[in-house]
Amino acid sequence: MIRLLILILFFFSSCLNEKKKGDNLTIIPKPQKMILESGVFSLNNNTGIKFDSLFINELNFLKNIISLDLTGSKNYIVLKQNIFLEDEEYYLNISKNTITIEASNGKGCMHAIQSLRQLFPINYKKNTENLEIQCLEIHDFPRFKWRGMLLDCCRHFMDKDFIKRYIDLLAFHKMNILHLHLTEDQGWRIAIEKYPKLTDIGAWRINKNGEKYGGFYSKDDLIEIIEYAKKQHIEIIPEIELPGHSVAAIASYPYLSCTGDSLEVENDWGVFKDIYCAGNDSVYTFLENVLTEVMEIFPSQYIHIGGDEAPKYRWRECIKCQKRIRDEKLKDEHELQSYFIKRIEKFISKNGKRIIGWDEIIEGGIAPSATIQSWRGIDGGILAAQKNHDVIMSPTSHCYFDYDLQAINLEKVYSFEPIPKGLTEKESKHIIGGECNMWSEHAPQESIDSKVFPRILAMAEVLWSENNKDFKDFQSRVRNHYPKLDLFGVKYGYEKTPIDYDIKIINNNFRVEIFKSYKKMDLKYKIDDNNWQKYTRPIIINKSAIINVKEVNSIRDNPASKEIKLNKHLALGKKINYLTAYDKNYPANGNNSLSNGIFGDLSNFRDGQWQGFFAKDVEVIIDLEEELEFSEIKTSFFQYNLSWIIIPKKIEIMISSNGKDFIIYDQKNFNSNPMQEGKFKKEFKFNKKQSARFIKLIAKNFGKLPEKHPAAGSDCWIFIDEIIIK
C-alpha cells in the first residue's frame, strides 16, 4: 500500500513537472495541432543525424544554429521526406530518443526547424553541451500562402546586414515574403547598369539640414541578399514604382517627365505631381530596360510595379499624354494609367513574370494577370477577387506599422481577418494572404524594430494559424517570446500605447482615467505646474488644465510620457449632429470627438482627436440642450500640405433656437495657402455675445490643389479639432 502511494505521488509529481515545462512553450505562430508528451530529448554531442538528400540545405542551417556536428549515435534527428504532405506542411515529433521532421520539400522542413528552434531553452547559445527539449507532436501548415512584410528602403536607406537580419526574423516566424520597396521620390536604391545616373544622382538627396543622404544596393548586394533569403525559403519581391513616386528617376533623367524640367530628388514626404510621362515612348523603353535588369537579378515570380498615388495633373496638361488618350481611344487619365500598367504588364508577362500593383491599378481597368495589393481598406481587394484576380490584403486599418500604437496596436493587428465577409467560397480563394507594411518616412533604420515588433508576431499568426483566435492566450505567448527576440537583438516596442487615457464628462467635470500598458508600470502625474504625484485612481478635474503623465522606474531607454490638454466649455459632452459624414479612416473618437474637451496633437493627425473629411465641406450642428448665452466660439484646423490637408477657405457659424431656423452668427474667409510647408494648425475665433441652443459650423473645403502643389489637381482634406463655446 505504501509503495502504491509512493508510486502515485511520483506520478503526480512527474505530471506537474511536465506541465510546468509545457507552460513555457511558445511557438509563434501557433501550430495547427500540438500535443505535449512526457519526457525530454537531450540534444548534445552524442546526437546523430539521418536525412534525405533533399534536405541538405536545411541540415546545414540546423547545424549552424545549434553549433553541433551531429555525428553521434546515442539519439537522432531525422529529416524525412513525406511526399503526401502539402507544400509548407510538416510533422515534428519529439520523443526521448528521436526528433523526427517530415515534409514534402525544403519549405516544410525549414518551418519544422524554426518551430524546433523556438522550443530551445533561452540560454541555448551558452549551453550547447546538453539542450533538453520537451517531447511533443506537431502537425502544422499555413492558412495563407502569402505571408509578407514590406520594407521601405527608399525614404530611409537600410543596410544590407539589417535586411539579412529581417530575413532571419521573418523565417523564424514562418513569414515567407520580403517585399523590398526600391524606388521612390526620395531615393532610387537599385543599381541599373544601363542607367548609371539613377544611383549617381537618384540615390542621394539633400536633406533640409543640408546633409547629403542616401545609398543604394549593387547587383552583387542584391544577389547576396536573395541567396541568403533563398536558404530560409524567403522570396524577395522587388518593387519598381510607376507611374508615380518617380521623382528620383526624373531627377536623374528629366526626359522621363511630361515637362522635361530639371528636378531635385525629393527631401520631404508626400505625393508629387511629377510622374512618368504616359505619352512618351522613351519612358516605356526606359522602364523595360530597367525591368529587364531587375528580372535578371530577382528570380521571383512577381514584380511589384506600384501604381499608387499617381496624380494626373501633368497628364491633363501634357500634349503627348492627351494625344495618347485620343490615339488609344481612352476615356480619361484613369484609363491612361490603366493603359500604362497594361503595357508594362504585357512586357513583364512576356518575360515569364507576373505583376503586383496597389489597388489604384483597378481604376480604368485591371491588367489581365495582375495581383492586387489592397491598401486603401478592403474594397479594392473585394472588387479584384470578384473579378477573379488574386489579392494580397494590406489595409491601413491593420497592416501599416509606420502608424503609431494609438491607431494600430498588437490587439488590433491580431483582430485582422484577411478574407472579407460577403465573398463567395470561389472568390475567397483569390485572397492569397496579407502583408504588413513598414513605410519609413518617419522611421530610420534604428527605429524599425520598435515599430515592427511585437506587432508582426500578430500578423504572422493571423496569416498562418487557423485556430480560433484568443488574444489573451496570444498575449501570454508573446510575453514568453520576448527573450527569444532578445537573442536576435530586437529592440521591440510596446504592445499598445504605453500610457493611454479615457475621459468621461460627469456632472460637467472631467473624469480622467489613465491606463498603462503593463501591470508593473509605475506612473506619476501632475496638473499644470503642481507637484508630481503617484497615479492610483481616476482624476476628477473641474477646469481647463494640462495633465502630464510619465513612466517612472522604467527599464527602457526612453520612458513613456503623455500630455493631455483639457478645455472646459459650454459644449462639453454635448451631442454633435453630422450633416456631412467624417471619413471612416479618420473618425477620431466618433460622434463626440468635437465636444470631448481634448485638443488634438499638432505632431500627429492620427492621434484620435483630429477628425478628417475628404473632398467636401464640414457641416455639423451642436445641441447645447438649452438656450444658453455665450460670447466666444472657436475651433482649430490642421494643415500638412504634403498629405493634402489644407486649412478651410471659409468658416461660417450659424445659430438657432429650434434647430430648424438658422441665422448667421459670424463668418470668416481665410487665404489658405496649400504651398505652406510643415505641420501647423489655425485657430478661428468668433467673439459676439448671443443666445442660442443650436450652433451650426460650416467649414468650406479649399478644393483642388493648385498647379504649383506637388499633387496638383488632387482633392483636399479638412481636419478639425474641438469646437469650443464660452
Give how far the C-alpha of residue 454 lies from the chain's centroid of Cα atoms, to the nearest Å: 12
**pLDDT the model gives residue 294:** 98
Domains of the chain: 23-140 (3.30.379.10), 497-566 (2.60.40.10), 568-726 (2.60.120.260)
- Report the first-to-last Cα separation within the chain, whole angstroms: 85
**pLDDT the model gives residue 672:** 92
- Residue recorded with cell 530577382: 298
**pLDDT the model gives residue 657:** 95
206 Ramachandran zone, left/alpha/beta (phi>0; psi -120 to 50): beta
Using the predicted structure, report yes or no on whether residue 243 has a pLDDT greater than 60.
yes
Residues 280, 330: Cα–Cα separation, whole Å: 16
**pLDDT the model gives residue 13:** 39
Residues 650, 638: Cα–Cα separation, whole Å: 14
**pLDDT the model gives residue 21:** 46
Asked if residue 17 lies in contact with residue 39, where contact means CB atoms within 8 angstroms, the answer is no
Q: What percent of the chain has pLDDT over 70?
A: 96
- Residue recorded with cell 431656423: 661
**Taking CA 177 as the corner, what is the angle to CA 422 and CA 156, rounded to the nearest 5 degrees?**
110
Sign of CA dihedral 407, 411, 416, 422: negative
- Render pLDDT for 139-155 as a digit per residue (tens, 0 to 9): 999 999 999 999 999 99
Using the predicted structure, report yes or no on whether residue 602 has a pLDDT greater than 80.
no
Using the predicted structure, report yes or no on whether residue 570 has a pLDDT greater than 50.
yes
Q: What is the mean pLDDT of the chain?
A: 93
**pLDDT the model gives residue 599:** 86
User: Mean of the pLDDT values across residues 377-381?
Assistant: 95
Tell me the pLDDT band of 24, cut-offs 50, 70 and 90.
Answer: low
- Residue recorded with cell 440642450: 625
Using the predicted structure, report yes or no on whether residue 125 has a pLDDT greater than 70.
no
- Residue recorded with cell 489573451: 472
**pLDDT the model gives residue 600:** 83
User: Mean of the pLDDT values across residues 628-651?
Assistant: 94
Tell me the pLDDT band of 128, cut-offs 50, 70 and 90.
Answer: low
- Render pLDDT for 42-75 as a digit per residue (tens, 0 to 9): 999 999 999 999 999 999 999 999 988 899 999 9
**pLDDT the model gives residue 711:** 83
User: Mean of the pLDDT values across residues 322-341?
Assistant: 97
**pLDDT the model gives residue 25:** 83
Q: What percent of the chain has pLDDT over 90?
A: 85
Asked if residue 588 lies in contact with residue 696, where contact means CB atoms within 8 angstroms, the answer is no
**pLDDT the model gives residue 1:** 42
pTM: predicted TM-score of the whole model, two decimal places: 0.89
Secondary structure percentages of the chain, helix, strand, coil, to 5: 30, 30, 40
What single string gives the DSSP state of each residue in 83-113? TTSPTT-EEEEE-SSEEEEEESSHHHHHHHH
Q: CA gyration radius for the chain?
A: 29
Residue 54: DSSP 8-state: G
Other beta carbons within 10 angstroms of residue 72's beta carbon come to 15
Which run of H or of E encompasses 536? none
* Burial label, 629 (beta-carbon count in 10 A; 0-12, 13-18, 19+): exposed
Which residues on neighbouring strands pair with residue 130, listed in sequence order? Answer: 44
What single string gives the DSSP state of each residue in 381-449? HHHHHHTT--EEE--HHHHBTTS-TTTS-HHHHHT--SS-TT--HHHHTTEEEEEEEE--TT--GGGHH
Residues 359, 362: Cα–Cα separation, whole Å: 6
Using the predicted structure, report yes or no on whether residue 8 has a pLDDT greater than 60.
no
Tell me the pLDDT band of 382, cut-offs 50, 70 and 90.
Answer: very high
**Phi/psi at 707 (5° precision):** -55, -35
Residues 107, 105: Cα–Cα separation, whole Å: 6
Cis peptide before 498 (omega within 30 of 0): no
Which residues on neighbouring strands pair with residue 691, listed in sequence order? Answer: 629
3-class secondary structure, 558: coil
**pLDDT the model gives residue 520:** 83
Strands 130-140 and 561-566: unpaired
Using the predicted structure, report yes or no on whether residue 2 has a pLDDT greater than 50.
no
Tell me the pLDDT band of 485, cut-offs 50, 70 and 90.
Answer: very high
Tell me the pLDDT band of 15, cut-offs 50, 70 and 90.
Answer: very low
- Render pLDDT for 245-264 as a digit per residue (tens, 0 to 9): 999 999 999 999 999 999 99
Give how far the C-alpha of residue 157 lies from the chain's centroid of Cα atoms, to the nearest Å: 18
Using the predicted structure, report yes or no on whether residue 340 has a pLDDT greater than 60.
yes
- Render pLDDT for 497-555 as a digit per residue (tens, 0 to 9): 999 999 999 988 999 999 988 888 899 999 999 999 999 999 999 999 999 999 998 77
- Render pLDDT for 438-473 as a digit per residue (tens, 0 to 9): 999 999 999 999 999 999 999 999 999 987 899 999
322 Ramachandran zone, left/alpha/beta (phi>0; psi -120 to 50): alpha
**pLDDT the model gives residue 440:** 97
What single string gives the DSSP state of each residue in 621-659? EEEEEEEEEEEEEEEEEEEEGGGTB---SEEEEEEESSS
* Burial label, 518 (beta-carbon count in 10 A; 0-12, 13-18, 19+): exposed
Asked if residue 43 lies in contact with residue 133, where contact means CB atoms within 8 angstroms, the answer is yes
What single string gives the DSSP state of each residue in 252-299? H-GGGBSS----PPP-S-S--S--B-TT-HHHHHHHHHHHHHHHHH--
User: Mean of the pLDDT values across residues 218-239?
Assistant: 98
- Residue recorded with cell 466660439: 633
What single string gives the DSSP state of each residue in 417-433? -SS-TT--HHHHTTEEE
**pLDDT the model gives residue 709:** 85
- Render pLDDT for 190-199 as a digit per residue (tens, 0 to 9): 999 999 999 9
Which run of H or of E encompasses 717? strand 717-725
